Structure formats: C-alpha cells, structure tokens
Chain A
C-alpha cells in the first residue's frame, strides 16, 4: 500500500477517467497551482486555497476517483 496523493490539475475529467483518486481542480492547465491572470498577492491566496483543498482531500478516505473543487470563485481571501 502506498501513500495518498492529491493531484492538482486543470484537467479534472482526464484525471478522473484515468483513475486518479484524489483530484483537486487547479487554476488552469499551464499553472495548476496558480492563476497567472491574478495579481501576485491574490494568486498566492488562491494557491493557499488550492493547497487547503488538497489537504482536505488527503485527510479523508475516498472510495474511488473523487473531484474536489476549490470553494467559491477562483480567487478569494485566505
């Protein structure tokens, strides 16, 4: 048995179809843990939210491929 992995990707449907178990919807496909359209401070806050969601996924059991979406809009405050 391995260790749990949270996959952050802009392509959740691909991740789901190939069977990744903990999938986090990331910013976009060239910047999964960020969003180049945001100003730097807001991008950092967004990255923090993505990681928080990844930690949430890692700290719960899943029965198969499960997609976790960062709450609210893409950006946001900590």
Chain B
C-alpha cells in the first residue's frame, strides 16, 4: 500500500527563518523536513510522510487581507499534493500562531475537504474561535512540551488520514468540540445515571455524559444613583413584535432584535403586538403584551415620580437556541444605543 501523505503548516519560528522580527514574512513552501514534521514522521513510522511544509509569518497571516490573499496559494499546494490529512502546529499557548494554525485548518477542511488537525494549549484564544468544527489536540503550554504533545497530534492525524472513525474527545485527546453523537451502550440510561449518582454521592470519580458549558462571568454594572431622574429601557427575549413581524425577527436562533417606538403610548394593546417566539406557548403574552413589556406599570411609576422615564423604544428578540456570540453582539448593540441616549438602566424580561 502506498504511503499516506500529509501537508504540514508551521510558522517562521519553527521553519528556522527567525523569531518575532521575521513574523511579517509571507507564505512559502519548504521541500526539506524541518521542525515538528521530523517528529511527526517518526511517530508515523512508515505509514505517512510529510510531503510539503507550508510556512507563514504569524503577523502576516493574522492580517485578514493577507489571509485572504494566501488562500489561493494554499489551495494550489493542497490540490497538487492531494494529501490524506493536513496538520498544523502544534502552537502551544502562542496566540497568533494558534489562530493561524486553527484558521488554516478550518479553511483546508471546510473548503478543500481534507481532514485537518492542529494542537495547542487549551487556553489558547484560538480554541474558543475554532473548536466547534475543528480537531484541536490538547497540548502542553510551551514548546518545551513538544515531545509530550506530538504523539497525540500524530495519532489523531494518522486516524484521520486513514478515515478511521474518531472517538470522543477524552479518548482521542482533542479538546471537546461540543458535538454529541448517538451510540449504543450495553446499559440503559437510567442505570448509567443511577451509577453516576451513586458515585457522586460517595465522592467517587465519574464522567458525565452531558458536560455543562461554562459561562463567562460578567461583572455587575454599578447601581443607578437616582431612579427619580433615570430613564429606563424595556427589553424582552420573549419575542414581542408588532403584528406581522415587520423586521422578520427569527423565531429561533435569532441574530437580530427589533426596536419599536412607544412614544405617546400608555399601553401595548393585544392585536397590535404579538409574540412570535418559537419556544413557548405565546398565547398569554400575545393576549396581554405587558406580560413581556410592562409599559402600563412603567407609566404609573413615571406618574408617581419613582422613575424619570421609560426609553421610547423597546427592544425585542427571541431567546431560543440563540448562541452566545449572537447574544453578546445584540447586547453590545443595545447598550451602545442606550448609553448614547443617556439611558441609565434596563429591565429585561426573559421567557
């Protein structure tokens, strides 16, 4: 059987071109084996060889325009070699190198259909950006851990090249992608759950089948000093929009929000507004929109002098299946408008 073929990506440093001062250098191809490729080939024994090594400076490739400009070159190299797998790095905890490795892997896998793998420290910023659809093997923090880190990269690369089925992250050594697959198990779920519970109660180790996602902590904003003069905004993730949904806000997986003028209104009437949220029974919300945007009682609080005012627009989106990046983006855009309009606080209802 013919040997399997790999193409390897490294930066200027591992190619022996230079360190930081050479980080602006453009893309080139090494014909001789240098850097981690030597170690990878040893680990692959006679099964796979590195056919070509692509080198690019970390600063150069992290510039978006430059990146776009080198993609045709990368495509040409990949099409010439027709490799069984593409390997980048490992990048350890080097931020720019990590992003370069991950984005090149992402491109080669997605656009050219070649399985790809890179490796890096789990806190490398590239992990959050690219982990969802890419194999990123967990490595040590610095290049001093090269010999300890390379075997897992080599092993996964070989498996990918052979088109063997790839097992779960904790067994193959890549960082969890968040993808979940069905598999048959000799024990039913109730039994496995009970065993986990017993292990937990007895302080014994166990491995969850449904890992919870970690959420980044947001520091609390300081309080409002004087409510009596403060304008307050109303926001909802409960999907309240004018009937007919003029902005075509998505009922699920929303990436945008609507802003609707309440100037001169004392109430939001049924039949004028409705909830288009795709994740709960919206009957009650559509029957009385104040259950999502409590304008009626805000007007009472205004008249009583307890608050300065209610911001003239309410913001609405649908919070169902909404990913964190979209949510952060919407939140940033909302707060940008609110702060520029001197709004002091928000009240957000969530269904």
Contacts and interface: CB of A to CB of B under 8 A. Distances in A.
Interface of A: 1-11, 15, 17-19, 21-22, 26-27, 29-34, 36, 43-44, 47-48, 50-52, 54-55, 58-64
B222 A61 contact: yes
B297 A62 contact: no
Contact of B345 (A5, A10, A19, A32): A5
Interface in B312-351: 335, 338-339, 343-351
Contact of B292 (A18, A21, A33, A51): A33
A27 B351 CA distance: 10
Contacts of A47: 290-291, 294, 296-297
A30 B291 CA distance: 8
B345 A4 contact: yes
Contacts of B350: 7-9, 11, 15, 32
Given A9-B350, A31-B285, A32-B291, A1 B222 contact: yes
Given A19-B215, A31-B291, A6 B223 contact: no
B298 interface: yes
Contacts of A3: 221, 335, 338-339, 343-346
A30 B282 contact: yes
A60 B345 CA distance: 12
A58 B290 contact: no
A36 B345 contact: no
Nearest to B294: A33
A65 B297 CA distance: 26
A58 B345 contact: yes
Interface of B: 215-218, 220-225, 227, 232, 235, 238, 280-285, 287-288, 290-294, 296-298, 300-301, 306-307, 335, 338-339, 343-351
B347 A54 contact: yes
A21 B220 contact: yes
Nearest to A4: B221
Contacts of A62: 220
B169 to A, nearest CB: 23
B348 A5 contact: yes
Contact of A6 (B298, B301, B347): B347
Contact of A51 (B294, B338, B346): B294
B280 A30 contact: yes
Given A9-B350, A19-B218, A32-B351, A51 B297 contact: yes
A5 B346 contact: yes
A48 to B, nearest CB: 5
A27 B292 CA distance: 11
A38 to B, nearest CB: 11
A17 B290 CA distance: 27
A27 B291 contact: yes
B221 A31 contact: no
Nearest to B324: A18
Contact of B297 (A4, A5, A19, A48): A48
A5 B334 CA distance: 12
B71 to A, nearest CB: 37
Contacts of A9: 349-351
Contacts of B280: 29-30
23 contacts: A2-B335, A2-B339, A5-B235, A5-B348, A6-B346, A7-B349, A15-B350, A30-B280, A30-B291, A31-B285, A31-B291, A31-B292, A32-B349, A34-B288, A34-B290, A36-B287, A47-B291, A48-B301, A51-B294, A54-B347, A55-B301, A58-B224, A58-B227
